[in-house]
């Protein structure tokens, strides 16, 4: 090769001026100059130019072969690393989802044996494989929690986060409605950029963006666990929507004031009785049309 020719002529001191300039400007010149200097410094007994050229050429070929062999291996390792990383990301972050339909309730146990009961039309999700490191779940709807003692336990909703270390409480998150009731222990609620501590027997409610607190909860558990929905000064719209969820029906009430406050209750196992319970206090008339829709109206309508 051309470089070997220059090296041999340089060692023989037979390079022309032009060839000498070209060779001395090449990267290999410094390498061989350093090599010769090292040999002279150690005063090696002999230096065979031909043998050294063969050795250097072999090293070059060896390096080339190692590079060509390792490059695809490194590429494969990089790809494998990415695949493993993606796999573990999705494996660890896979969510467990539980949903309930209309007129349906369900019980479940979380990985730490905490018990959760979901009311109708509720969606709950959590990361089971990360649970021991992060006890957190997302909730849409309504659920009652009996939390096993341990690290912080978070219930995340669109309206706020409820945090406990082991207690019993109820969380309800519906359209324009957010409510937390503590039945045992202490519950921390982060909502509207405010942190509230709720001891047992107290509650927090946000209706249409307005926050209210109550410290006179005498019940030991939410009434819906016993097939009954109870309301205390709640907008009538929330009562109608809860009735629809529990009985899987549609209620039409075009002339009824949906913002008026309602205090009362209805059962979940007798639709006729339940209808009377939510209509009689407001003196409303009940009709059922051809589409099996329930129509509520005032007696004068």
Residues 6 or more apart whose CB falls under 8 angstroms from that of 209 comprise 176, 192
Quick one: pLDDT at residue 18? 73
Q: What is the pLDDT of residues 116-165, one digit of tens each?
A: 999 999 999 999 999 999 999 999 999 999 999 999 999 999 999 999 99
In degrees and rounded to multiples of 5, residue 277 shows phi and psi of -65, -30
SS3 of residue 100 by DSSP: coil
Does pTM surpass 0.85?
Answer: no
Residue 79 backbone zone (phi > 0: left; psi -120 to 50: alpha; other: beta): alpha
Strand 294-298 with 251-252, pairing: parallel
In degrees and rounded to multiples of 5, residue 200 shows phi and psi of -55, 140
Q: What is the pLDDT of residues 166-189, one digit of tens each?
A: 999 999 999 999 999 999 999 999
> What domains appear along the chain, each with residue ranges and CATH number?
2-92 (no CATH), 97-224 (2.60.120.1440), 227-298 (3.55.50.30)
Contact (Cβ atoms closer than 8 angstroms) between residue 156 and residue 136? yes
Cα 154 to Cα 144: distance, rounded to the nearest angstrom: 13
Q: pLDDT band at residue 23, thresholds of 50, 70 and 90?
A: low
Q: Examine the pLDDT at 211 and tell me if it is beyond 60.
A: yes
Quick one: pLDDT at residue 44? 46
Q: What is the pLDDT of residues 54-112, one digit of tens each?
A: 565 566 555 555 555 566 666 666 666 666 665 555 566 789 999 999 999 999 999 99
């Amino acid at each position: 090769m051309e470089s070997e020719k220059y090296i041999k002529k340089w060692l023989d001191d037979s390079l022309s001026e032009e060839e000498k300039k070209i060779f001395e400007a090449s990267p290999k010149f410094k390498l061989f100059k350093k090599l010769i200097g090292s040999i002279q410094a150690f005063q090696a007994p002999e230096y065979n130019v031909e043998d050294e050229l063969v050795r250097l050429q072999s090293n070059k070929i060896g390096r080339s072969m190692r590079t060509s062999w390792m490059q695809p291996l490194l590429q494969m390792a990089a790809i494998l690393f990415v695949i493993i990383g993606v796999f573990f990301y999705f494996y660890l972050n896979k969510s467990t989802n539980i949903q309930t339909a209309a007129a349906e309730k369900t019980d479940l146990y979380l990985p730490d044996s905490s018990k959760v009961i979901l009311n109708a039309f509720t969606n709950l999700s959590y990361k089971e494989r990360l649970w021991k490191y992060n006890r957190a779940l997302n909730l849409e709807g309504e659920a009652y929690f009996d939390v096993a003692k341990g690290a912080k336990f978070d219930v995340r909703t669109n309206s706020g986060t409820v945090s406990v270390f082991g207690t019993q409480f109820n969380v309800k998150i519906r359209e324009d409605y957010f409510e937390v009731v503590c039945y045992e222990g202490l519950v921390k609620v982060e909502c509207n950029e405010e942190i509230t501590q709720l001891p047992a027997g107290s509650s927090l409610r946000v209706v249409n963006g307005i926050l209210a607190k109550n410290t006179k909860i005498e019940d030991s558990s939410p009434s819906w666990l016993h097939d009954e929905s109870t309301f205390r000064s709640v907008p009538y719209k929330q009562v109608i929507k809860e009735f629809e969820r529990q009985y899987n029906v549609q209620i039409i009430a075009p002339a009824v004031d949906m913002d008026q406050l309602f205090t009362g209750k209805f059962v979940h196992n007798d639709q006729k009785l339940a209808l009377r319970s939510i209509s009689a206090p407001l003196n409303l008339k009940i009709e059922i049309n051809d589409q099996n829709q329930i129509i509520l109206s005032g007696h004068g309508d």
